[in-house]
Chain A
Amino acid sequence: MPHRTFLWFILPSLLAMILFIALPIGSVLVQSMHVEHEQVLIETETCGPFGCTPSVSVDQNATRALREAQPLGRFNGLRTYTDRNHLATAEVAQAWSETDSLTGFAGRLMNLPFYKALAFTLAYTFVVTPLVIVLGMAIALGVNGLPQLMKGTTIFVSLLPMIVTPLVGSLILFWMIDADGVIGATLQRLTGDPNLSLKASPVLTWITLFVYGIWHSAPFAFIVFYAGLQTVPAETLEAAQIDGASRWQRLRYVVIPHMAPLVVFVVLIQLMDNFRVFEPIVGFSAAANATSLSYFIYSDLRGDVAQFGSAAATSMLTILGVAILLTPVLIRTWRDFNRKRV
């Protein structure tokens, strides 16, 4: 396709992305490398309904002058990235030199918010992604075998975990897994442990989040795989059958290779979404036992004092993390692309 035609076709899409994603990313990058001006503090007195208290406030005039001189703030280089609330390079180095065992070092590392969050995020990503793929594929194969008449309803019901607004979906599930709720109480009865609580112990909280993640994302994998299954060439399958291939062999050597590009697509999207896990942590009030990078961004931005610089740095680190995670998949896509080009 000539460059000019290509440009016209892609222009609306590209323009939208440049204006609303690329430019903001640029500005976020710049912000992450700046910190606020030194705030000039003055001692004051604050009075209200409950009496007067000595207090401190920001000297508006002095701070305004500083702000006007340098609207972006003070340049800080990459120091926000390396501070204790992010990569904590100094603290990691110190922990490394002060501890003599790996477990001791790991313990110190887990006390740093970034690494604690990273541990959960990676565990979540690498548990949920494969299980979503497997479950999605299994459901797709199962639904594909159903009589035509039942398929529509089945597809709709299968989509429900994705459709119900996560905000309220997790609220209801959170209540259900309470020790007094339907799932929590049933589990207590099944295990015979009256003190079993899915919300209190770190291990059970992690498992709960994993299960929710799989439940919520399986429909996506299912619908994509189901669509893909419809395009498996019937002739190849029949030919394989005539050649005496067993059902398993047909699945292994015909269906799965045909679906490979789809699997890559779902893996790509799932890795990315799971790495940014956020909603279940808030929905299940799980922050005591599980945090993620996205949760930090939320916590930074939603405090009474919004910490843009810190959130910006965490966002850039998220992008970097996603890029590293996706590299193997992307190399594969690159080879595919070059092969198709020829």
Chain B
Amino acid sequence: MSSVAKRRSTPLIVLSSAFVAAWLIVAAFPFLWTLWGSFKVQGDFFSRADWMNALWGTRTVIETGSAFTGNGYYGAFVEEGFWRAALNTLVVVVFTVIVSLTFGTLGGYALARSGYRYAFWLLMLALVFRAMPHITLVSGYLLPFFEWNLWGHKTTAIIVLVAINQPFTLWMLHSFFLNIPKDLDESAMVDGCTRFQAFRHVIIPVMWPGVVTTGLFSFLLAYNDFAVTAMLLSQENQTMVPQIAGFLGSTFEEGNVMFAVAAVVSATAPLLLLIIFFQRQIVSGLTAGAVKG
């Protein structure tokens, strides 16, 4: 494609660049606004008087003496111990992604290579499973988990997230494996490998683009999950999103909304680092072979 792209006419390049630029503004504006606002007080960021206050920090100057304040960050991390939730999230997310991908690659590979009708029906069944609203599933788990003393542990939340995530992971990875030529592993098997050896030595080295992309989605699902983590984790195992929800307050009690805003910005920052760090892998992963339905 890149050779074709180079041959594009100038108006088209201008047009498409302008379009992408417009999209980037739309995509990033709320986040940049939040980033800027996280250094203000609540009276400015959620100002009813004049939204320009969020830019200049009128109330922030009155309340803290300077146009920028780190109170939200201080409150979230020092007073409320948000870092503990961040660590919990790290554990939950990393294990969810690893286990999801392990199960998913094995299953997805089998589904892509089976050729029997039941493989198709399994995929259909996975779709039906995916249609089930999470909140109903989680409410159903509560009683048995409490009865069997499984409730509250990170392991339980990880396994549930993996299971809930499996249908999507299976579908996506199955599509990737369809895209990898059959001859590759079949010729290895002709050379005397078992199916698993062929998978290990021939398929694993070439499957990374699909795995990286699927991993990205597993990651986002576990990272942003509220339904499962809020209901199934005890306080010492609480992850970031439920704790952020706790900052927002309730009908009766005023929350610390700026703690939540600061927490959201800090929760996004490591992702930025992660993506910059893995940028080459992700982009080349995506460019190398990538998704095919």
A–B contact (CB under 8 angstroms) = yes
Instruction: Return the CB mask of B258-270 against A: 1 if under 8 Å, else 0.
Output: 0011011001100
Decide: B27 and A157 in contact? CB cutoff 8 A. Answer: yes
Q: Which residue in A148, A156, A231, A319 is a CB contact (below 8 Å) of B272?
A: A156
**Contacts A156-B276, A180-B51, A269-B168; is A261 near B106 (CB within 8 Å)?**
no
Contact between B124 and A231 (Cβ–Cβ < 8 Å)? Answer: no
Judge if A213 is at the interface, Cβ distance under 8 Å.
no
Number of B residues contacting the other chain (C-beta, 8 Å)?
A: 113
The interface of chain B, by Cβ under 8 A from chain A, is 1-5, 8, 12-13, 16-17, 19-20, 23-24, 26-28, 30-31, 33-34, 37, 46-51, 54, 102-104, 106-107, 109-111, 113-116, 119-120, 122-124, 126-133, 135-137, 139-141, 159-160, 162-164, 166-168, 170-172, 175, 178-179, 195-196, 199, 209, 213, 216-217, 220, 223-224, 226, 240-241, 244-245, 248, 257, 260-261, 263-264, 267-268, 271-272, 275-276, 279-280, 282-283, 286-293
B167 neighbours in A (Cβ, 8 Å): 17, 21
- Which residues on the B side are within 8 Å of A308 (C-beta)? 139
A262–B293 CB distance below 8 A: yes
C-beta contact mask, A293-335 vs B, less than 8 Å → 1, else 0?
0100110010000101001100100110011001000100110
A142 interface contact, C-beta 8 A: yes
Say how far A121's CB is from chain B's closest CB, in angstroms.
Answer: 12
B196 neighbours in A (Cβ, 8 Å): 5
Mark A218-246 against chain B: 1 for CB-CB distance below 8 A, else 0: 01100110111111101001100100000
Taking CB atoms, residues of chain A closer than 8 Å to B50 are 180
Contact A176/B129 with A24-B137, A145-B8, A334-B120 known, Cβ cut-off 8 Å: no
Structural contact, A13 and B107, CB atoms closer than 8 A:
yes
Chain B residues with Cβ under 8 A from A73's Cβ?
A: none
CB distance from A317 to the nearest CB of B (A): 10
Kindly list chain B residues whose C-beta atoms are within 8 Å of the C-beta of A294. 133, 135
**Residue interface mask A229-272, B partner, CB < 8 A = 1:** 11110100110010000010010000000001111110011001
Q: Which residues of A contact B120 (CB under 8 A)?
A: 333-334, 337
Docked complex Cα distance between A278 and B226 (Å): 13
Smallest CB-CB A-B distances: 8 pairs: A261-B293, A227-B290, A13-B107, A9-B110, A20-B163, A322-B131, A152-B279, A265-B293
- What chain B residues lie within 8 Å of A28 (beta carbons)? 132, 136, 140
- Least Cβ distance of A92 to chain B in Å? 24
Interface residues in A127-141 by Cβ distance below 8 A to B read: 135, 138-139, 141
Instruction: Identify the stretch in A38-46, A60-68, A112-120, A158-166 within 8 Å (CB) of chain B at 4 or more residues.
Output: A158-166
> How near does chain A come to B225, taking the closest CB pair, in angstroms?
10
Q: Are B136 and A297 in contact (CB-based, < 8 A)?
A: yes
Is A48 in the interface zone, CB < 8 Å from B?
no
Instruction: Encode A52-77 as 1/0 by CB contact (under 8 A) with B.
Output: 00000000000000000000000000
Interchain CA distance A198-B102 in the complex, whole Å:
45
Report yes or no: B51 in contact with A182, Cβ–Cβ below 8 A.
yes
Which residue on B lies nearest to A23, using beta carbons? B140
Residues from chain A with a CB closer than 8 A to the CB of B288 are 230
Residue ID in chain B nearest A232 by CB atoms? B1
Residue of B171, B267, B268, B286 most packed against chain A (CB within 10 A): B286
Are B293 and A264 closer than 8 Å at their CB atoms? yes
Docked pose: A20 CA to B160 CA in angstroms: 7
Is B16 within 8 A of A260, CB to CB? no
Given A164-B30, A166-B224, A219-B27, are A12 and B102 also a contact pair (CB < 8 Å)?
yes
Across the interface, B48 reaches (CB within 8 A) one of A10, A21, A180, namely A180
A164 close to B268 (CB less than 8 A): yes
B289 cross-chain contacts in A, Cβ below 8 A:
230-231
Q: B172: which A residues are within 8 A, CB to CB?
A: 265
Contacting pair B102 A326 (CB below 8 A): no
| B139 lies within 8 A of A10 (CB) | no
A-B contact sample (20 more), CB < 8 A, given A9-B106, A145-B16, A262-B292: A1-B113, A10-B122, A21-B164, A144-B5, A164-B268, A165-B267, A168-B264, A169-B264, A176-B30, A181-B51, A182-B33, A185-B51, A231-B290, A231-B292, A247-B8, A276-B133, A308-B139, A319-B131, A333-B120, A340-B178
B16 touches A226 (CB 8 A): no
Within the complex, the shortest CB–CB distance from A229 to chain B, in Å, comes to 6
Cβ contact within 8 Å between A21 and B132: yes
CB pair A10 B129 closer than 8 Å = no
> Which residues from 149 to 202 on chain A have a C-beta closer than 8 Å to any C-beta of chain B?
151-152, 154-169, 171-173, 175-176, 178, 180-182, 185
Residue of A nearest to B20 (CB): A142
Tell me, in angstroms, the Cα distance from A191 to B5 when the chains sit together: 39
- Asked whether any CB of chain B lies closer than 8 Å to the CB of A146, the reply is yes
With A and B bound together, what is the CA distance between A267 and B236 in angstroms? 40
Give Cα distance in the complex from A125 to B24, angstroms.
25
A234 and B244 contacting across the interface, CB-CB below 8 Å: no
CA distance A27 to B26 in the complex (A): 44
Please indicate the chain B residues that have their CB under 8 angstroms from the CB of A237 in the complex.
1, 4
Distance in Å from the Cβ of B213 to the closest Cβ of chain A?
6
